[in-house]
Structure 1
Amino acid sequence: MAIYSFFSFKIITLITALFGILCLGESSNFSGSFVFGDGLFDAGNNNFIATLRKSDFYPNGIDFGGPTGRFTNGKTLVDILGVLEGVNYASGGAGILNETGKIFVGRINMDAQIDNFESTRQNIISSIGLTATMQLFKKALFFTSIGSNDLLHNYLIPSILSTAYNDLVPPQEFVATLMSKFSLQLTRLHNLGARKIVVLNVGPIGCTPNQRDTNPNILLDKCVVFPNWLAQLFNTQLKSLITELTTTLEGSKLVYADFYNVMKDIIDNYSKYGFENSDSSCCYVAGRFGGLIPCGLKSKLCLERSKYVYWDPYNPSQAANDIIAKSLLDGDTNIISPINVRQLFQS
């Protein structure tokens, strides 16, 4: 499959770059990155699968030199964080549950992403041996951003298009199901060698242009209450899960990154950050907020991309990603805990 050819290229690049790092011995605290998640992190993996969730066409990537498959106008959050050598498994539309995102047809959900990492692991072991590979993973940074599609494109979509969780179970039970599954996934990553793991929570999905447009009864300047409540329910349980796993997964350093409140502060105080619009898509086709149709070839563009918080119906612009990245890199424990990304990098 094409997706594995893409990963193979990345694996060769990773191994070549890391031979030199490994030679530095114990004084080097960093050996590469492994990225898992959804469209917030996807750097082009969906280009290689049959899916309705693609962004490998103009005007996506207009500030990156051209479309790459990133769901933004320029750099993603992990690009800005300086995640250089490594492998990115993230996929737009992906979720914790395997049935999430089926409305997009193809997507690489979290279980499949970890399967791909396991293949990467075996390839690296074949090249440098088990001991060196486990040492590499011990120093590497792992990033995850997953869960928003389980809410937006599973629980919150009409039952005719979904598994009808919203008709069958209360939100508390659905979120508990997500936590149980994600706990197994993080444990599996640990068992495969991951130690330093940054886990982003779910953002304020009720503030996205998509949710504003699909809930037309809201006031013009207000986010949609229920999706944000659902995200906060998810995040509360996620934070407890991270605390629990930190104590049970030996040698792990799990970091909880509060993407929700960083993004919400940008939205609520957008002018303070230099933005002029915090509720609409810069790349738009239809809807009062430009949130009804994904960014595509027939889309119109806002005049100043750096003045918009949102690039498309769901994802931040590069300007917003810049601010979020800086918050996670050097933020205090109100934003990212127990340590920030820079401190994790140096640990």
Structure 2
Amino acid sequence: MASYNILSISNNPLLFLIISAAYICIFVVTPVLCECKNAPVLFNFGDSNSDTGGLAAGLGYDVSFPNGRTFFNKSTGRLSDGRLVLDFLCQSIKTGLLNPYLDAIGSTFTNGANFAIVGSRTLPKYIPFSLNIQVMQFFHFKRRSTELVASGSRHMVGDDGFRNALYMIDIGQNDLADSFAKNLSYVQVVKKIPSVVMEIRNSIKAIYEHGGRKFWVHNTGPLGCLPQKLSLVQKNSDDFDSFGCVSSYNQAAQLFNEALSHLCQELRSEMKDAAIVYVDIYRIKYDIIGNATKYGFSNPLMTCCGYGGPPYNYNIKIPCGQPGTQVCKEGSGAVFWDGIHYTEAANALIASKILSMDYSTPHMAFDFFCQ
């Protein structure tokens, strides 16, 4: 694979300090902020933004190197050069990285399980691996896990673990993205949002009825800033904002997020004994893209691992890892890894902002569930 250098950290001491600071937020500050008194248990439901290897385990899909090069030094099924936001959140509470539910080889589930799968949506409901299917998998996991614990197993989650666990929801991006990819109009896409949010509502309510009381809900990021989407838009379009993102796509994402925020408010009223934290991922990511230099990044809309060179280095027919793709040097300050997903450096910064509580409603520390 060819190599290009977006930005050289080694030749820029100021940039090195900025990037280092982002990591310090994760590795130094967060252990102070996040000290679980009880063993943390987490269950995550979502798409590729938080899939820690479920697609590879479930369908045998080959997520090839250089995915995983930065932290794991090998591909782990994550669509990034290293850790995801979910991984950093787990590390902040000093628990192991979540194993995919479908990965039976060498996995233990004492700290929970990850049901997120690449490409997942909320609708249609009964196709792999919709949110509805992920929740059904969770119910099966819960039944078997409690049975095994009752039989003496120490490698699963018991009743107390499920009762006190954090249930994380991070889905919706693909519902919007796939609708635009099918050439639906902006109005048609927006009309789908209530149905998508209703599926999230149904899932949270179903988990609540099975004993879940602590929920952590991420909204969706700025869809119109993804290099994949930008590469497919007419260059003479007037549908670009000041940062170079597709305005209509971002507006649809914001309408989805507004509906999701209202849902969380409604559920707090209905489920008074539950804690539901809504996290504004959109604001975090859009800030990083719009103020990339401030955070030590450059060319924020340029894919690190892709094909075609500037301005986006993305070709939908030649994804990251395929022959001919170009990959930037490690530590080169890229925000986007493969045109859709973020680099480990960006994920580290996103996680540090989540942990600051500045983007959460209500403002609750991530470790609230294990106190």
* TM-score relative to the length of structure 2: 0.76
8 Å contact kept, 1:29–1:139: no
Shift in alpha-carbon separation, 1:55–1:232, aligned structure 2, 3 A: farther
Q: Establish whether residue 93 from structure 1 lines up as the match of residue 122 from structure 2.
A: no
Determine if the alignment matches structure 1 residue 42 to structure 2 residue 67. Answer: no
Take 1:47 and 1:318, find their aligned partners in 2: how far apart are those partners?
19
SS of corresponding position for 1:144: strand
* Contact kept in structure 2, 1:137 and 1:195, CA below 8 Å: no
CA distance in 2, matches of 1:229, 1:187: 28
Partner of 1:277: helix, strand, or coil? coil
Q: CA deviation at 1:182?
A: 1.5
Paired position in structure 1 for 2:170: 145
Q: Distance in 1 between matches of 2:245 and 2:266?
A: 32
Deviation at 1:181, TM superposition (A): 1.7
**Alpha-carbon displacement from aligned partner over 1:180-202 (angstroms, at most 9, x marks no partner):** 22111111121122221111001
d(CA) in 2 for partners of 1:42 and 1:326?
19
Per the alignment, residue 302 of structure 2 pairs with: 280
Equivalent residue in structure 2 for 1:112, among 120, 133, 139 = 133
Structure-2 change in CA distance of 1:343 and 1:87 (3 Å): closer
SS in 2 for 1:309: coil
Q: Describe the SS at the equivalent of 1:71.
A: coil
Match of 1:70 in 2: 78
Contact 1:96/1:181 (8 A) holds in 2: yes
Q: Deviations over 1:286-319 (max 9, x none)?
A: 3741233331232210124450010111111000
Give yes or no for the alignment of 1:302 onto 2:328: yes
Q: Which moved more, 1:273-282 or 1:292-301?
A: 292-301
Between 1:190-199 and 1:256-265, the stretch displaced more is 190-199
Shift, 1:36, TM fit: 0.9
Q: Which residue pairs with 1:162 in the alignment?
A: none
Alignment check: 8 A CA contact 1:30 1:141 kept? no
1:194 aligns with 2:212: yes
- Which residue identity lines up with residue 338 of structure 1 in the other structure? P
Distance 1:252 1:134 in 2: 17
- Alignment match, 2:146: 125
Give a deviation string over 1:113-159, Cα, whole Å, max 9, x none: 111111110012202359x8442123212211100000002x11125
Change in Cα spacing, 1:28 to 1:137, as seen in structure 2 (3 Å) is farther
Equivalent position SS for 1:67: coil
**Greater displacement, 62-71 / 283-292:** 283-292
Give the Cα–Cα distance (whole angstroms) in 2 for the partners of residues 55 and 62 of structure 1: 15
**Contact kept? 1:211, 1:291, Cα under 8 Å:** no
User: 2: distance between equivalents of 1:275 and 1:331?
Assistant: 23
State the identity as a percent.
30
Task: Report the Cα offset of residue 55 of structure 1.
Answer: 5.8
Q: Distance in 1 between matches of 2:265 and 2:62?
A: 35
Match of 2:335, SS?
strand
| Structure 1 Cα separation of the partners of residues 260 and 39 of structure 2 | 26
Read off the aligned partner of 1:176 and give its amino acid letter: P
8 Å CA contact retained: 1:55, 1:68? no
SS of match in other structure, 1:81: helix
Mapped pair 1:326 → 2:335: no
Distance 1:204 1:168, change over 3 A: closer
- In structure 2, the CA distance between the partners of 1:169 and 1:232, relative to structure 1 (3 Å rule), is closer
The offset of 1:172, in angstroms, is 3.6
What residue in structure 1 maps to residue 341 of structure 2? 315
Shift of 1:339: 2.5
Partner of 2:15: none
Distance 1:253 1:221, change over 3 A: closer
**Aligned-partner SS, 1:228:** helix
**Unaligned segments of structure 1, at least 5 residues:** 1-26, 101-105, 160-165
CA distance in 1 between partners of 2:302 and 2:271 (Å): 41
What secondary structure, in the 3-state scheme, does the structure 2 residue paired with 1:57 have? coil
Give the distance between the partners of 2:62 and 2:221, measured in 1 at CA.
21
Aligned-partner residue type, residue 302 of structure 1: C
Kept in 2, the 8 Å contact 1:92–1:107? The answer is no
Matches within 5 A, 1:98-247: 98=124, 107-129=128-150, 133-153=158-178, 155-158=179-182, 166=184, 170-217=188-235, 218=237, 221-247=243-269
- 1:56-75 CA distances to partner (integer Å, 9 max, x unpaired)? 21111111220010010000
Work out whether residues 142 and 198 of structure 1, in 8 Å CA contact, stay in contact via their aligned partners in 2.
Answer: yes
Secondary structure of the structure 1 residue equivalent to 2:181: coil
2:41 corresponding residue in structure 1: 32
Q: Is the 8 A contact 1:30 1:139 kept in 2?
A: no
TM (normalized to structure 1)?
0.81
Unmatched runs of 5 consecutive residues or more in structure 2: 1-35, 97-110, 152-156
**Partners of 1:306 and 1:129 in 2: CA distance:** 50
The answer to whether the 8 Å contact 1:139/1:196 transfers is yes
Q: Secondary structure at the match of 1:194?
A: coil
1:174 is displaced (CA, Å) by: 0.8
Q: Which residue of 2 aligns with 1:23?
A: none
Q: Determine the C-alpha separation between the residues in 2 that align with 1:255 and 1:74.
A: 26
